[in-house]
Amino acid sequence: MSQRYQPKAEDKFTFGLWTVGNTGRDPFGEPVRQSLSPVDLVHLLAEVGAYGVNFHDNDLIPIDAPPGKRAQILREFKNALNETGLVVPMATTNLFSDPVFKDGAFTSNNSEVRAYALQKTMKAIDLGVDLGAKVYVFWGGREGTETDAAKDPVESLKRFREALNFLCDYSLGQGYDLKFALEAKPNEPRGDIYLPTTGAMLGFISTLDHPEMVGVNPEVAHEHMAGLNFTHAVAQAWEAGKLFHIDLNDQAFGRYDQDFRFGAVNLKSAFFLVKFLEDVGYEGSRHFDAHAYRTEDYEGVKQFALGCMRTYLALKERAAQWNSDPQIQSLVKEIMKTSAVPVEVYSEVVADQLKSRAFDRTDMAARGLAYERLDQLTIELLLGIN
Ligand code: GLT
Ligand code: MN
Ligand code: MN
C-alpha cells in the first residue's frame, strides 16, 4: 500500500465506539471477535490515525452500571483521550437496544417509556457534553412500526416533535453549546421507520420550536437502502444550512443494512460525495459509521478503519485533479456556456416578455450535451488513466 493517504487530525476522521467495536454479531450468528473496552478502542483508533471517537451512552457506560463503576469507566476513558489526543466531537443515545424500546422511544405508545427515553437522553447529553461533544445525534431506530394498526402516524410525529422540543429546551436551559443532528433510515430494525429519508427530516425540522439548533446526519447506506442518490440528499441539507454531521459508509442498493467500509461498493458515488463535501468546504467531522466484515479479526478491523480514511483521502485527491484537469474543465466550461444567462426575477413586464418570446425548441433539443464524454473522463481519472 502506498505511503500516501496517511490520515491527519485536520482531516477530522472519526469513528463510533460501536463501529470498530463491532463484534460481528448478526441476526444469524454469534460474535466472531471478542469485545474490546472503550479504552482499548480509543488506542486502536489512535493507532490508525483517527481524529475523534463518538459513542452512544451505553457504548461507554453499561445501562445498569452502578455509580462507582460509572465514575471509574469515565475516568479511564478520559485518561485514554488525554494519552492519545483523540477528541469526542459527537455523542448519541442508545434508544434501540434495550427491550424497553421494542415499540420505540419517543414515539412509543406508552407514555412511561417516552418519559424514560427523555430521562435517558438528558443524562446522555450531559455525558456527551462533559466529554466535549458539540453535535448530538438522534437516530430513531425503533421509532416506527411493523403494522400501522398499532400506532397513529400523525400522533407519532407529534410525540417525536414534543420530545425534540423538550430536549432543545433542556440543552438551552443547561447553557450547552450543542447542536442536534437527526439521522434518517427507511427501515431496519423496524419494518418501517418514521421520517425515512434526509429530505423527510429536513421538512420535519422546520416544524420544531428551535429549528436553528437542529440539522441532519445523513448516512450513505440509509439513503442507498431507499434507492436514493446520497449526494443529492447531502446537497439539499447543505443548501439549507443543515449539514451538521455525516455518516460515511457504503451499501449496495436494495440490500439489508450493510454498513460496509467507505467506498467498498460504489466508488463513483463516493467520489462525487467527497468532491461535493470538499468543494463546498464542509467543516464537520468525516464520521465513518461502518464496521469490518464478519470474517475479520482485529488486524482486519484496523485495515477496515484505515481503508475508510485512505479511500476518502484518495478520492479527495482525485476531486482536486478533476477540478484542475484541462480536458475535463474545458468540457465543463463548454457545457455550462448555455447556463450563463440567469432566469430573470419576476415582474409583470418580465413575465409578459417571457410569454411572448420565441423559442427554437427543435434547435434546443437537437444539441448533444457531451455528458457521456465527461462521465468517461471522470471514470478514466478515477482509474488513474491520464
Ligand atoms: C446504529 C445505526 C447507525 C446510527 C448509530 C447512531 S447506531 O449503528 O445503524 O446508523 O448512526 O445511533
Ligand atoms: Mn447504518
Ligand atoms: Mn449512522
Average pLDDT value over all residues in the chain: 97
Q: pLDDT > 70: what percent of the chain?
A: 100
- Asked whether 56 and 92 are in contact (CB, 8 A), the reply is yes
Q: Quick one: pLDDT band at residue 109, thresholds 50, 70, 90?
A: very high
Q: Is the CB of 219 under 6 A from ligand 1?
A: yes
249 is a domain residue: yes
166 with 293, same domain? Answer: yes
Q: Quick one: pLDDT band at residue 324, thresholds 50, 70, 90?
A: very high
Q: Is the CB of 137 under 6 A from ligand 1?
A: yes
Residues that place a CB less than 5 A from ion ligand 3:
219, 247, 289
Distance from C-alpha of 41 to C-alpha of 358, rounded to nearest angstrom: 67
Residue 16: what pLDDT? 98
Residue 173: what pLDDT? 98
Q: Quick one: pLDDT band at residue 6, thresholds 50, 70, 90?
A: very high
257 with 350, same domain? Answer: no
Residue 75: what pLDDT? 98
Q: Which of 323, 349, 374 is the last residue of a domain?
A: 323
User: Taking residues 335-344, what's their average pLDDT?
Assistant: 83
Q: Quick one: pLDDT band at residue 2, thresholds 50, 70, 90?
A: confident
Q: Which of 323, 339, 356 is the last residue of a domain?
A: 323
Q: Is the CB of 139 under 6 A from ligand 1?
A: yes
84 is a domain residue: yes
CA nearest to 57, candidates 40, 41, 70: 70
Name the active-site residue from 11, 59, 247, 259.
59
53 with 185, same domain? Answer: yes
Rg (CA), the chain: 23
Q: What is the CATH number of the domain that holds 76?
A: 3.20.20.150
Q: How far apart are the first and last CA of the chain?
A: 21
150 with 37, same domain? Answer: yes
Residue 342: what pLDDT? 74
Distance from C-alpha of 377 to C-alpha of 325, rounded to nearest angstrom: 10
Q: Quick one: pLDDT band at residue 170, thresholds 50, 70, 90?
A: very high
Q: Quick one: pLDDT band at residue 3, thresholds 50, 70, 90?
A: confident
Q: Quick one: pLDDT band at residue 339, thresholds 50, 70, 90?
A: confident
Distance from C-alpha of 264 to C-alpha of 25, rounded to nearest angstrom: 20
Q: How far is CA 209 from CA 212, 239, 245, 289, in A?
A: 9, 21, 21, 29
Name the active-site residue from 56, 222, 287, 291.
56
Q: How far is CA 10 from CA 3, 78, 303, in A?
A: 18, 21, 21
Q: Exposed, middle or buried, 81 (CB in 10 Å: 0-12/13-18/19+)?
A: buried
User: Taking residues 300-324, what's their average pLDDT?
Assistant: 98
26 with 66, same domain? Answer: yes
230 with 362, same domain? Answer: no
Task: Based on the residue annotation, tell me whether 59 is a catalytic residue of this protein.
Answer: yes
Would you tell me how many other CB atoms lie within 10 Å of the CB of residue 197? Answer: 20
276 with 339, same domain? Answer: no
359-373 confidence digits (pLDDT tens): 999 999 999 999 999
CA nearest to 15, candidates 59, 61, 78, 70: 59
Q: How many CA atoms lie within 13 A of 183 on its CB side?
A: 24
| Distance from the alpha carbon of residue 190 to the mean position of ligand 2, in angstroms | 13
The answer, yes or no, to whether residue 275 has pLDDT greater than 90, is yes
Distance from C-alpha of 204 to C-alpha of 140, rounded to nearest angstrom: 14
Task: Output the CA angle 219-222-224, nearest 5 degrees.
Answer: 110
Distance from C-alpha of 184 to C-alpha of 224, rounded to nearest angstrom: 12
4 is a domain residue: no
Q: Which of 323, 353, 375 is the last residue of a domain?
A: 323
CA nearest to 289, candidates 237, 218, 202: 218
Residue 340: what pLDDT? 78
Helix (H, G, I), strand (E, B) or coil at 184: coil
Report which residue type is found at 289: D
Q: Quick one: pLDDT band at residue 338, thresholds 50, 70, 90?
A: confident
Residue 145: what pLDDT? 98
21 is a domain residue: yes
Q: pLDDT > 90: what percent of the chain?
A: 97
Q: What is the largest CA-CA distance in the chain?
A: 79
Atom of ligand 1 nearest to the CA of 259: 9
Task: Based on the residue annotation, tell me whether 257 is a catalytic residue of this protein.
Answer: no
279 with 345, same domain? Answer: no
2 is a domain residue: no
User: Taking residues 86-104, what's their average pLDDT?
Assistant: 98
Which ligand approaches the C-alpha of residue 225 most closely?
Answer: 2
- Asked whether 122 and 170 are in contact (CB, 8 A), the reply is yes
DSSP 220-274: HHHHHHTT--HHHHHHHHHHTT-B---EE-B--TTSS---BPTTSS-HHHHHHHH
User: Taking residues 70-88, what's their average pLDDT?
Assistant: 98
1 is a domain residue: no
Q: Residue 287 belongs to what domain range?
A: 9-323
140 with 268, same domain? Answer: yes
Distance from C-alpha of 260 to C-alpha of 196, rounded to nearest angstrom: 20
Atom of ligand 1 nearest to the CA of 183: 11
131 with 258, same domain? Answer: yes
| Distance from the alpha carbon of residue 71 to the mean position of ligand 1, in angstroms | 25
Q: How many domains does the chain have?
A: 2
318 with 330, same domain? Answer: no
Q: Could you tell me the pTM of the whole model?
A: 0.97
72 is a domain residue: yes
350 with 372, same domain? Answer: yes
216 is a domain residue: yes
For the chain, where are the alpha helices, taking DSSP H only?
Answer: 17-20, 38-48, 57-60, 67-84, 111-130, 153-173, 198-205, 220-225, 230-239, 267-280, 298-324, 326-336, 348-356, 361-366, 371-382
Q: Which of 139, 255, 256 to mutate to test the pocket of ligand 1 (most atoms within 8 A of CB)?
A: 139
254-265 confidence digits (pLDDT tens): 999 999 999 999
Residue 58: what pLDDT? 98
31-69 confidence digits (pLDDT tens): 999 999 999 999 999 999 999 999 999 999 999 999 999
Lowest mean pLDDT among 2-11, 284-293, 371-380: 2-11
User: Angle of helix 298-324 relative to helix 371-382, nearest 10 degrees?
Assistant: 140
